[in-house]
Every structure is written in C-alpha cells, then in structure tokens.
Chain A
Amino acid sequence: MILVTFISVLMIGGIMAWVAASWSNLASRWISLITLLIDFILAISIWMNNASTPWIEKFYAPWIPNFGINFSLALDGLSLLMLLLTFFLGILGVLISWNEIQYRVGFFHFNLLWVLAGISGVFLTMDLFLFYFFWEVMLIPMYFLIGIWGHENKRYAAFKFFIFTQASGLLMLLAILGLYFVHKNNSGVGTFDYFQLLGTQMSLSTSRWLMFGFLAAFIVKLPVVPFHTWLPDAHSQAPTAGSLILAGLLLKTGAYGLIRFVLPLFPEASAEFAPWAMLLGVVGILYGASLSFAQTDLKRLIAYTSVSHMGFVILGVFAFNSLAMQGAVMQMITHGITSGALFAIAGILYERIHTRDINAMGGFWVKAPFMGVTTLIFVLASLGLPVLGNFIAEFLTLIGSWQANQTLTILATTGIVAATAYSLRIMQKVFLGKTLNEKTMTDLSLREKLVFVPLIAAIIWLGLFPQKVLNTTKPMIDKSFKTEQTTLNQKDNGIQ
C-alpha cells in the first residue's frame, strides 16, 4: 500500500499546489516541498528497515483484467534507491526554483510533482502496460516544464525532447505488445505482468526484435550516442529544476529500464548485443567528452558531460557482471547528484549574471568562494576523484567491464582523462582567471546553501561509505547474476 502512497501523494500534492497557487504562490511552494518531504521520509524509513530480501514490498490490484493489465507495483533495492534519489532531487528542485519561477507558479509545481510521480511510477511498476503509462506521464509535464519556463529557445527544445522520447516510447509500446502476444501464443494467458513475462520462451530473432523495441526507448532516454541530440537542447533550455530533474532522474529511467526489463526479459539477445552496447557506451563517453570540451554554453557543456557519464552506465550494465552492474547503479545515483548540482550552479549563475556563456564568466571565486568550493567539489566528482561517489561508480564499472572487454575498458578509461580536461575547464572559465561581471555576483544565499550542503554531504558520503548503497542493490543484482558468476569464475580459473 505504501507504494501507492508514494505516487498518489505526489499526484494529489501536485493538484493541491496548483489550486493553492490561486491564493498564494508561497503556499504552492510549501505544499510541494512538504509533499516531497513526506515521500522522502517514507522512503528513508523503508530503507532503514530494509531486509535483504530481493522484493521489499509489493502491491497488486486488477485494473483491466480482460487484457491482463494490473496495477502492480513492487519495490526492490534498485527501485528504492532510485526513489530516494527522486525524492531527494525533487526536494532540491523545489528549493532551487523558489525564486527563479515567478510565472504560473502553481502550474509549475503541478508539473514538477507530476513528473516526479511519473518517474516514481516508472521505478515501481511491474506491469508493462502500466510502465508505459507512467513513461508517458513523466514525459508530458516535462514537456510543459521546458516549453513554458525554459530559456530563449524553449519551444524548439521542448519539441525535440518530446519527439525523440515519444517516438522511441512508441517503439517500446510495440515491443510490449509484441511480448504480450508472444506470451499469449505460448501459454494462452495474455498478461502484461512482469513476473509472468519473465521466462517467456521465444526464438532468438523474435527476442532480438523485441529487445530492440525496448532498447530504443531506453537508449534514447539514457542517452546513447547517436540518439543523444535532444539532450543538450532540452537541458540547456529547461529551467533549473527542469534540468536537474532531466539530468538527475529522467536519464536514469532509461538506465533503470535496461536493468529491469531488457536484461531479464531478453537474456540471450542482450548477451548477444552486449559488445555492441558496450561499444556504444564507450563511443558515448568519448564523444560526449569531446563535445563537452568545445561548448561555451555552460548548461550545454554540463549536458554533454551527462552524455559522457551515462556512457559508463550502459558500459556497466552490458558488462554482465555484478561489479560493473553495481558500478552502473552507483553511477546512476552519483551522476544524478553531480549533474543535478552542476545544473543548479549553472542556474544560480544565470540568475545572477543572466548569461550561460562561459566566456562572459571568470574569477567568481573572489566574490563567491562558497559557490566556488561547491562547484569545485562537483567538478571533481565529475572527473571521478576518489572520496567522491562518482569514483566508486566509475571504478566499479571499469573494473567490472575489464573482465568483460579489455579494449573497450581501456578506451572508456581514457574518457576519464578527457573528463579531467572538460571538468577543469568549467572551473577555470567560471571561477578562476580574470574577474568578469563581478558587480552582479554574490555568494550563495542561505536557501541555496540549503540546496548544496545536502548534495555535498551526499556525494562525499557515497564516496566514503558506499557499502550501504551497494548492500541495498546486492540481493537484486546477485539474483540476476547467479549464473554469470559461475561462468566468470571458470573463466578466471582458465587464465590462471
């Protein structure tokens, strides 16, 4: 039941925030904040009491029984972590837009909360039809967020985002229907239930096609080069909270989908596709890095770093071992925090100096040392410095993918050198060097500190004490790699 609460609280809160805005914008903000806090505390309490069973919580209610569609939710370690991240970043998203958004405040918060509700739904559903439903629920409010509150080129960006994700989502819908009918032909039972569909028998070519359907939606969301071009536009045009949620959460739904659906539903096909997927990941890492290095628009630059970092996720997921998978999950979380924080900084800078062009920035450290230190920490996180969470993620991913494919791992690791180059470039151009634009520059306000201190704490905590997180996903990952572990061991024995 608590799983339904997660989603319904957000949806009701969203409507309330909308309604409340007709009296007072402040009420709308507070309602959103409280809504998210409730969810966050609920999620934390589950996390604290979590047993090491794969499935922590399940909910089931028939919806359209004729077609085997159920309102089926379930929570495991991965979903739990993603939910925590969702609510955490959601809270920060509300805080960061406290002053930024002054136009149609109620509708903004409605959209914000509904995006989050859609994302939570995506992380929780175990019914493919419902999954598609939530997939769309998170898409449309996001479209509004970009299209209404975005920057100068918002309509283009919003359309691009919508068309990319919608087109790929429809391919997934086709694949879902395909899977439904394959299962119906096999067993005579038409169902969209994840657990029942898990062991569906099908020929390799069928499963290959169906997998590509799912993959289309997920790798566009992730995004994987060459399907990434919506991302820089959407990220750079979205309002700060929008960028935060896009980078921090929406991209993760793609990765989550890979882990939750693609690998378990189509094990053979995805194993077959794995080297190509890893190659795509590596291409993403390097290509994203090289593009990021060339950008002069700060938000665009950060957006391309996302392309680069999400390359590690697909690399890790398709390396097919638990180390890399843990790394990929970790990367999802840490990238959510890091890129969210960097976008928040870009947003704050934009509020102060009204430009995103890094050539118009420089030497802000003098005026804003707190912001400088904050940025430094997240820039370092983005280049994978140990002590910060991203290092754990990248290290685990790479050490895992090394077992799978050494050449690609070497290439991916060179991406870290490139990451150093582009990350330090942010620092250099914005905070170091000659002081520009200093008049309008002020250090972080208390509210903004309230946003960044938890982010800093989280990223350092993840870097030093990742075990709690790793334990949370361990049952789920161990379960999926039981067979793989034994083969890996055999292979190692062969080497020795």
Chain B
Amino acid sequence: MNLLIIPALPLLGSFILIVVGSRLPKRMIPLVGAGSVGLSALATLILGYRFISASLTSLNVIAWQWMDINGLSPAIAFHLDALSLVFIFVITFVGFLIHVYSAEFMVHDEGYARFFAYLNLFVCSMLTLVLADNLVLMYLGWEGVGLCSYLLIGFWYTEEKNGYAARKAFIVTRVGDILMAFGLFLLFQTFHTLNIQEIAGQATQQWTVGSHTAFVISLLLLGGAVGKSAQLPLQTWLPDAMAGPSPVSALIHAATMVTAGVYLIARMHVVFEFAPEVLMIVGIIGAATLVMAGFAALTQYDLKRVLAYSTISQIGYMFLALGVSAWSAAIFHFMIHAFFKALLFLAAGAVIEALHHEHDMFKMGGLKNKLPVVYWTFLVGAGSLAAFPLITGGFYSKDQILWLSLASEHGNIWFFLMALLGALITSIYTFRMLFLTFFGKENTPVSHVPGSSMNIPLIVLAVLSTVGGFIELPHTFGHLTVFSDFLNPILPSVTVQEDLENFEWLIQLVAALVALSGVGLAYFFYIYKPELSDELKSSAADLHSFWLSGWGFDKLYDRLLVRPFVYLSNINKKDIVDKFYDGLVMIAEWVNRMLSYTQSGILRWYLMGIVIGGIVLMALALL
C-alpha cells in the first residue's frame, strides 16, 4: 500500500471537480468529493493496520526530487510515523464524515462542485502538511491549507464581508507563516538541510540546551504555529472565519487546520527541547489564550462564534500541554477535540440551517424536541467540551493536561490555576450555549430537519468523542496508556515531579468539581434565573462589550497596522517618486519656454544679443 495514495486521492478528486465539476450531474459531485476522501480514509486504515501490526517506527516514500541546489534538496517525500498517523487518521476520518455531512448540507448551493473541490484540496494539503518529511514540503501544505481556508471562508463570495473575513484569515496567518519561513531560513543556514529527521539528528549532535540559535529558531517556528493555530496575539482571524459554511468551520477551523501549529511544535519538539525558555513561552501563550478566549466565548451571541472562541481556547490547552512538554497529552487532546468540536460545529450547522440561517443564540431555543438527534449529539459534544467527568472523552484528555500543567517538571501552579479557571469558563459557556439553543421556549420556527446524511456523521462523531477518551486512562483508575505508548517512539513521555505523584486523584477531583460547578452555574443563570444573567450583563456592560469584541484585538490591530498601511498606500497612490520626474519635465519645459521667449521676432533684440556676445568675447580676449 503506497503512502502516496492517501494525499493523492483527494487531490485527484479536487482536480476532477475543478476541471469537469460544472458538467458533472449533481449526484456525482458528492460521490467524487466524499468518495475520494473516503477511499483515502480506507487507505489510512489499511496502512495504519499494517504499520502497527508490523510495528514499524517510520515509513518513507519519495515521490520525486523537488529541487536540488547546493545542499538545499527538499523532495516531494512523505514520512509516516506514529504522530503523523494520528493526524492523517483524524484528517481523513473526520474529513470523510464532514464530506458526507456536506453532501446534504450544501446540496442547494450553486457552488456545490466548487465546495467539494476546495474541501478535497484542503484534505490533500493538510495530509501533505502532516506527512511532509521536510520543512519545505510542510510549508507547501501549510500554505495550501491557508489557501483552502481562504477559499472556503469566502465561499459565499457575493457577500463583501465574507471576502473580508477570508482575506483577514489569509493575511493574519501569513504573518505567522513568514515567521516560520525565517525559522526555515535559519535552520537551513545552521544545518544545511531542511529534512525534519536530519534536523532532529543534527540538533542533538550540535546543540546544547539553551543554545541561542535553538532559541531563535524555536521562537520563529512558534510564530508560525501561533498564526495558524489562532493563538495570542494572532487569534483575531478565527472568529471572523466563521463566515464560511459550517462544515468548513468544523473541518478546517476546528478539527484540523488550526491544530497545524500544535503539529508543528510536536513535530519539531526536538528543537524546542533545546530552548526551554521558548517552551515556557508556548505554555504562557497557551494559558493566556485559553483564559482570554474563554471569557470572550462567554459573551458571544453568535452560536458559531462561541464555538470559534472555544476552539481558540481548546488549542490554548494544547499549547499549554506542549509548553510543559506533555507532548502526547497535547496530541491526545487534539484528537478528542477534533471529534467533539467537529461534532459541535456540524450540529450547530444543522441548527442554523434548520432556523433559516439564524446565528443568534438568543433567537433560538426549545429545539430539544424538534431536533432530537442534533440535540443529543450536541449534548454529547458539549459534555466532552466541558469535560463532564468520567463519561466523556474530553474529560480524560483535558484532565491529563490539567494534571500535567502542574505535575510536569516544566509545569507550575500558575499554569494549573489558569487551566482550571479555563475549565470552569469552558463548562459555563458550553452549557450556556446548550441551554440557550435547545432549552427554553421556541423563538424561531424550525424550517428544515436534517436528513440521514447529516445525522449519521453526527452520531459517529458523538460515539468517537466519547469512546475516544477511553484509550488513555489516568493512573488513578484504569491506567491505560495505549495512546501515549503508541506515540512514545516519536514523542518522549513526560517526566512527572516526584513529590506530586500521589496527588493526581486530588487534581482530578478538583477538575471534575469545577466542570460540574460550571454546568451548575450555567443552569442557574440561563435556565433557573435567566433575568440574573441580563442583570449581570448590564451591570458590567463595558466588560461585556470588551469581551464580545474579543478583548479589542481587532480594533487594536486595525488602528495599529491596517489603517496606517491603507492610509500610507492611499496617500501615495499617485506615486511620489513620479513627482520628481514630473519636476524634471517641468524644468525642461520651463527652460524651453525661457529660450523661446528670446526668439521674440524683434530684430533689435537679436542684435542686442550679438552685441552683448561681442562685448563678452572681447572682454574675454582682453582678460
């Protein structure tokens, strides 16, 4: 089974849809679009089975030599190991489910073929990103997913604001991308290679912990990761990216693309380990982001925006885990998060479609009975997001991060407290969302009930986001380490501070209590006494609008960067340099005019000129 087939299939699907998509019968389009990803998922399963059964550590396939100039010799080559296997599994499976869901969701849209073409292209790019064996190819995938994200956010292109959101997403992530590019340049300068394995090998040989180059490089790579994963300070694009169709938000802006930053750091963990300060920064960024985005999520009206901020917040958890060197915990949370967040977005999409594209949660309500499948699956997803103890996957993955943020040798109490605070907010906004949408009285009539093509992916994802958690159980009960063992050859396991080892149950208890109390608070404010939440809102109106606007980052960047740039380029529209040449022309014209004045046609003037010339000549001769 060739590894190449996995990214190649979606690419082929995309190619077919772009070239002949408009001529295909409508039934064929999802068949090609979802089918290619489905086959790719199947191939992943087979490959994964062989990979595990043969207990390989890695698998390399070189398609062709991309370029080769004086040591810079990246190939179009793929590298499969445990880490990328987890990622391609999530990408192809969640991707496939979302394709299936989209087949119904997008069916009335004019750009049906275009949608699947972009989506397939995205899957291909994302697979390239995680399978790349060198950083240049990874960069290719990195930009490719950025492009698809741009295309899909702006999918409904007739709306001006969608186009704006799409461009914002592309440009903001591009800021991160160029930082990553600097990292690549510096890596190449240092090691004369951009092959990931070779870099890892050479780094261990040449660097010592705290090396300055390692510090700079990891900081730059972190810049790339922050941009793509919508972490502070480049998080502003993600909430706006919700302008795209819901399946897009599910696939790209929740499950896969936004976690590319997590992948990058995990993939380059060898480099990061030589720069503990940067790891610390990763942790700080993660912690700050998760709290910040949590508060922002608390105040949103738009259902998808809540989920967007929640995604930012959950990726913050992953960064926090990376920051404390809990590599496999981060990847574990990535996987579970991919399941439940995709589920939540898809369910939200179903709700929004059912209500005539109504995004405002306060205009929803009482959908519990109208959309039972959506309700129950949403409930499972919400439970997982809020880390409802014991029965949800989210509990196990998040709990691991909470515990390790304190107990890892890089962890500290502040990380833990932030994470705990984040957990509380998470469960509050999650259940706020649930209660507002599905409980209470019906504000908007349901116009459309999702069919099986939409329900099945929801159910499958609901199962996955519950069951998925049970493959990695904490020490205190079960002590199952399938996932981390699987990743162990690639990502070293975390070292726990010895004196804390015995307190894990306590942390878990606290986390569970916090999650439950969050649910309780949400119930209290939005079901039991809804008027209290209104009062709270009006009593802190400033804070509310501040959080609603995502802590004012948009405004800040707008004032600080966008407006000056637009202003500068607009005042110079006519190109100031050209004025210089215009000046030259003006001088030439002026001289010309002056000289033509002398040709007055009056003979005496000419004679005068001759006389003056004669005088001057004689004077010169005399001198």
B-binding residues in A (CB < 8 A): 160, 225-226, 228-229, 232, 290-291, 293-295, 322-323, 326, 363, 365-366, 369, 373, 380, 385-387, 391-392, 395-396, 398-399, 402-403, 409-410, 413-414, 416-418, 420-421, 424-425, 428, 431-435, 464-467, 470, 474, 485, 492, 495-496
Give 9 new A-B contacts, CB below 8 A, not counting A290-B569, A396-B67: A294-B569, A294-B573, A386-B140, A417-B174, A421-B565, A432-B154, A433-B160, A464-B66, A467-B66
Residues of B within 8 A of A (CB): 18, 22, 64-70, 72, 76, 114, 136, 139-140, 143-144, 147, 150, 154, 157-158, 160, 163, 166-167, 170-171, 174-175, 178, 181-182, 184-186, 188-190, 192, 206, 565-566, 568-570, 572-573, 575, 577-578, 580-581
3 residue pairs, one from A and one from B, having the closest CB atoms:
A386-B140, A432-B157, A402-B185
Q: Are A380 and B565 in contact (CB under 8 A)?
A: no
Q: List chain A residues, Cβ under 8 A from B158.
A: 363, 366, 432-435
**CB pair A402 B573 closer than 8 Å:** no
Report whether A229 and B157 are in contact in the complex, using a CB–CB cutoff of 8 Å. no
Contact A428 B163, beta carbon cutoff 8 Å: yes
Q: Roughly how many angstroms separate A434 CA and B157 CA in the complex, as a whole number?
A: 8
Q: Tell me how many residue pairs across A and B have CB atoms closer than 8 Å.
A: 132
Query: What is the minimal beta-carbon distance from B237 to any residue of chain A, in angstroms?
Result: 12
**Contact with A421, one of B65, B72, B171, B181 (Cβ below 8 angstroms):** B171
The answer to whether B157 touches A386, judged by C-beta atoms less than 8 angstroms apart, is: no
**Interchain CA distance A94-B206 in the complex, whole Å:** 57
Nearest residue, chain A, Cβ from B19: A373
**A31 to B: closest C-beta gap in Å:** 34
Q: List 5 A-B contacts (CB under 8 A).
A: A290-B569, A395-B181, A421-B565, A424-B150, A467-B65
Q: Is the CB of A399 within 8 A of B188?
A: yes
Evaluate contact between A466 and B143: CB separation under 8 angstroms. no
B120 to chain A, nearest CB (A): 15
In the complex formed, the residue of B with least CB distance to A473 is: B69
B163 / chain A contacts, CB cutoff of 8 Å: 428, 432-433
Given contacts A392-B67, A414-B178, A432-B154, contact A293 B577 (CB under 8 A): no
A413-B181, A466-B66 as given contacts; A395 in contact with B136, CB under 8 Å: yes
CA A456 to CA B167, docked complex, whole Å: 23
What is the distance, in angstroms, from A259's C-beta to the closest C-beta of chain B? Answer: 16
Supposing A291-B572, A398-B181 touch, asked if A225 and B167 sit within 8 A by C-beta, the answer is: no
Specify which chain B residues have a CB less than 8 angstroms from the CB of A386 in the assembled complex. 136, 139-140, 143-144
Cβ-defined contact, A416 with B174, below 8 A: yes
Shortest A473–chain B CB gap in Å is: 10
Q: List, in ascending order, chain A residues with CB within 8 A of B184's CB.
A: 399
* A402, B171: Cβ atoms closer than 8 Å: no
Do A380 and B147 touch (CB < 8 A)? yes
Q: Report the minimal beta-carbon distance from A438 to chain B, rounded to whole angstroms.
A: 12
| B104 CB, min distance to chain A CBs, angstroms | 24
Q: How far is the CB of A45 from chain B (nearest CB, A)?
A: 24
Set of chain B residues within 8 Å of A435, measured between Cβ atoms: 158
| Inter-subunit contact A420/B185 (CB<8 Å) | no
Distance between Cα atoms of A225 and B188 in the complex (Å): 30
CA distance A378 to B569 in the complex (A): 23
A492 to B213 alpha-carbon distance, docked (Å): 13
A323-B72, A421-B171 are contacts. A433–B157 as well, Cβ < 8 Å?
A: yes
Taking the nearest CB of chain A, how far is it from the CB of B559, in angstroms? 17
In the complex, are the beta carbons of B575 and A369 less than 8 A apart? Answer: no
Of B136, B154, B190, B578, the residue contacting A229 (CB under 8 A) is: B578
A322-B69, A322-B70, A420-B174 known; A399+B572 contact, CB < 8 A:
no
Enumerate chain A residues within 8 angstroms of B566, measured Cβ to Cβ: 293
Question: In the complex the two chains form, is A474's CB within 8 Å of B69's CB?
Answer: yes
Residue of B nearest to A292 (CB): B569
B residues near A414, Cβ cutoff 8 Å: 178
Min CB distance B578 to A, Å, is 4
Partner of B70, one of A366, A385, A485: A485
Contacts of A363 in B (CB 8 A): 157-158
B189 partner residues in chain A, CB cutoff 8 A:
402-403, 492, 495
A50 CB → nearest B CB, Å: 17
Residues of A contacting B70 in the complex (Cβ-Cβ under 8 angstroms): 322-323, 485
Closest to B184 in A: A399
> In chain B, what residue has the closest Cβ to A363?
B158
Whose C-beta in chain B lies nearest to the C-beta of A478? B70
Given contacts A323-B70, A416-B174, A433-B158, contact A410 B182 (CB under 8 A): yes
Q: Which residues of A have CB within 8 Å of B136?
A: 386, 395
Nearest to B68 among chain A residues (CB) is: A467
**Which chain B residue has the least Cβ–Cβ distance from A164?**
B581
Closest-CB distance, A411 to chain B (whole angstroms): 11
Query: B202 to chain A: closest CB distance in Å?
Result: 10
Residue of A nearest to B117 (CB): A373
Contact status of A290 and B178, CB under 8 A, knowing A420-B170, A424-B170, A433-B157: no
Residues of B within 8 A of A409 (CB): 182, 185
Whether the pair B18, A373 counts as a contact (CB closer than 8 A) is: yes
In the complex, which residues of chain B have a beta carbon less than 8 angstroms from the beta carbon of A373? 18
Q: Which residues of A contact B568 (CB under 8 A)?
A: 290
Bound complex: CA of A239 vs CA of B72, how far in Å?
41
- In this complex, the member of B65, B67, B171, B192 whose beta carbon has the largest number of chain A beta carbons within 10 angstroms is B67
Which of A365, A366, A466 is within 8 Å of B67, CB to CB?
A: A466
Nearest to B578 among chain A residues (CB) is A229
A229 and B581 form a contact (CB under 8 A): yes
Cα-based distance from A496 to B192 in the complex (angstroms): 12
- Bound form: Cα–Cα A180–B114 in Å: 62
Residues of chain B contacted by A432 (CB below 8 angstroms): 154, 157-158, 163
**Residues of chain A lying within 8 A (CB to CB) of residue B68:** 467, 470
Give min CB distance, A344 to chain B, whole Å. 20
User: Is A417 touching B190 in the complex (CB atoms < 8 A)?
Assistant: no
- Give bound CA distance, A363 to B162, whole Å: 13
Task: State whether A291 and B69 are in contact (beta carbons under 8 Å apart), knowing that A386-B143, A402-B185 are contacts in the complex.
Answer: no
Q: When chains A and B are docked, how far (Å) is the Cα of A142 from the Cα of B581?
A: 21
Residues of B near A290 (CB, < 8 A) are 565, 568-569, 572
Contact B185 A291 (CB under 8 A): no
What's the minimum C-beta distance from B415 to chain A, rounded to whole angstroms? Answer: 32
B188 touches A413 (CB 8 A): no
Instruction: Give the shortest distance, in Å, between B331 (CB) and chain A (any CB).
Output: 25
**In the complex, are the beta carbons of A424 and B578 less than 8 A apart?**
no
Of the listed residues B178, B206, B570, the one surrounded by the most CB atoms of chain A closer than 10 A to its CB is B178
**Chain B residues positioned under 8 Å from A366 (CB to CB):** 158
Contact residues in B for A464 (Cβ distance below 8 Å): 66, 76
Complex-state Cα separation, A402 to B185, whole angstroms: 7
Inter-chain CA distance A232–B181, complex, in Å, is 31
Q: Which residues of A contact B577 (CB under 8 A)?
A: 225-226, 228-229
- In the complex the two chains form, what is the Cα distance from A399 to B64 in whole Å? 22
